[in-house]
Amino acid sequence: MKTIVILNSKGGVGKSNITRHLAVAAEQENPGAVVLCDTDPQGSLADWWNAREAETPQLAIVPLSEFKAKQPVIAAQFHYLFFDTAAAHAEEYTDVLKAADLIIIPVVPSPDDVRSLSRLTLPVVKQSGRPFTFVMSKARLSTQLLVSTMAALSEHGAVCQTIIQQREGYAKAALLGSTMLEDEPTGKGAEEMRELWNFIKSRIDERVISSKTKKKEVFNG
């Protein structure tokens, strides 16, 4: 099972929106093989799922303290796990981060968000030793603020070139328990989320290939 964790200690950066869209994108390619995990006390992801007509992707409510013990059970049933996190101290997710195949860090392009990220989230992510990537969220294209934020983040790690824009359709989909992939499958919102999912898959695949190469080198040595 591939575990994708969406993390940022700051609230309001679009974590749940990205989580549910990526999960639906994965589900459309892998029917029945995707599960969401929600530990956010606000229950944004659970509320969305309960409003949903479709029964997939499936949802697992797992207390954070029990995740490490229950992960093998979940792994035996699904191919992808998308883990949504709360606006909280990143240290609370240490066990989850260690299990991640990739950590996605949504960032709103603003000086306050970058400073908060550098203080609260990034040190914990780097300490986990797991691969991570930044994703620009709730952004407006062709602004100097977006360009400067991406440049600043690139000094710390990979920055996805697909920009998740501020769109009214995301809010509407959240209310209806759907996604723009389902509501407007040929629209710009669906397109950017599919591009993001393809990027995430490529990052995971790169890590798998790299891991296999290292094992082969050790064996040959």
Q: What is the pLDDT of residues 107-152, one digit of tens each?
A: 999 999 999 999 999 999 999 999 999 999 999 998 999 999 999 9
Give the lowest-confidence range in 37-46, 158-167, 196-205.
Answer: 37-46
Q: Is 70 exceeded by the pLDDT of residue 39?
A: yes
Per-residue buried b or exposed e for 162-193, using 16+ beta carbons within 10 Å of the residue's own CB: bbbbebebbeebbeebbbbbbebeeeebbebb
Give one DSSP letter per residue of 15-28, joined into a string: HHHHHHHHHHHHHH
Q: Domain spans of the chain?
A: 2-220
194, 181 in Cβ contact below 8 A? yes
Nearest 5°: the CA angle 206, 208, 210 is: 65
Please state the φ and ψ torsions of residue 23, each to the nearest 5 degrees. -65, -40
**At residue 59, what is the residue type?**
L
Distance CA 62, CA 171 (A): 26
CB count, 10 Å around CB of 30? 14
Which pTM does this prediction carry?
A: 0.90
Percent of the chain whose pLDDT exceeds 70: 91
| Mean residue pLDDT across the chain | 90
Distance CA 91, CA 64 (A): 12
The correct CATH number of 2-220 out of 3.30.565.10, 1.10.3720.10, 3.40.50.300, 2.60.15.10 is 3.40.50.300
